[in-house]
């Protein structure tokens, strides 16, 4: 089972702290004050309505439509998740169209080339952009770590089994719950 992050909308307050943590986790040594508005590109988006708010992010699907649609093979399964190999990405946006959750984006990033020991800026390059579960962070996903209401969780095999167990116990203890669902 691929791991992914789930949000509990009943706990989310729409503070967007997860978006900031995401940007900082992928910004290298840069600080928030050093990032331009164009560089603020979180890999998840908090969506707000009148009654609810929650981040929308990649579900790391088992049979990922984005992976199946990618013509260059830039989207791969790795470390129990769906990852993008940026050096292979064409920026064609096929993955954006294929994603049923709206979790994929194509963003532009500065492009550089190295020539005779000198780094030269050559414009911008398009890249697929999505939640990568912060696989390079030893602490795990940054969004989970900073959420003030504990609304985000990594759904893995153990968490899934615990959730199913709790739901089954709740259904068995409350016979009206089954009647209400029917």
The token pair that represents 95 in the structure block: 């993955």
For residue 67, give every residue at least 6 positions away whose Cβ sits within 8 Å of its Cβ, in sequence order, or none: 61, 75, 76, 77, 82, 95
- The pTM assigned to this predicted structure is 0.84
3-state secondary structure of 40: coil
pLDDT digits (tens, 9 = 90+) for 32-81: 667 777 788 999 999 999 999 999 999 999 999 999 999 999 999 999 99
> What is the residue extent of each domain of the chain?
4-181
The token pair that represents 85 in the structure block: 């190999």
Give residue for tokens 């399964």: 77
3-state secondary structure of 58: coil
- Mean pLDDT, contiguous 10-residue spans, the chain (182 residues): 95 97 88 75 95 96 97 96 96 98 94 85 91 95 98 96 94 70 55
């Amino acid at each position: 089972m691929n791991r992914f992050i789930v949000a509990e909308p009943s706990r989310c307050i729409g503070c967007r702290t997860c978006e900031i943590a995401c940007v900082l986790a992928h910004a290298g040594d840069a600080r928030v004050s050093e990032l331009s508005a164009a560089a603020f590109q979180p890999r998840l988006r908090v969506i707000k309505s009148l009654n609810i708010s929650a981040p929308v992010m990649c579900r790391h699907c088992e049979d990922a439509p984005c992976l199946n649609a990618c013509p260059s093979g830039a989207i791969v399964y790795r470390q129990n998740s769906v990852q993008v190999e940026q050096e292979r990405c064409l920026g064609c946006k096929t993955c954006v169209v294929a994603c049923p959750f709206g979790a994929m984006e194509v963003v532009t990033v500065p492009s550089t080339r190295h020539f005779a020991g000198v780094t030269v800026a050559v414009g911008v390059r398009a890249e697929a952009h999505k939640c990568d579960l912060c696989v390079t962070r030893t602490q795990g996903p940054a969004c989970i770590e900073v959420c003030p209401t504990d609304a985000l969780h990594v759904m893995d095999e153990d968490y899934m089994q615990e959730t199913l167990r709790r739901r089954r116990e709740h259904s068995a203890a409350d016979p009206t719950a089954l009647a209400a669902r029917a």
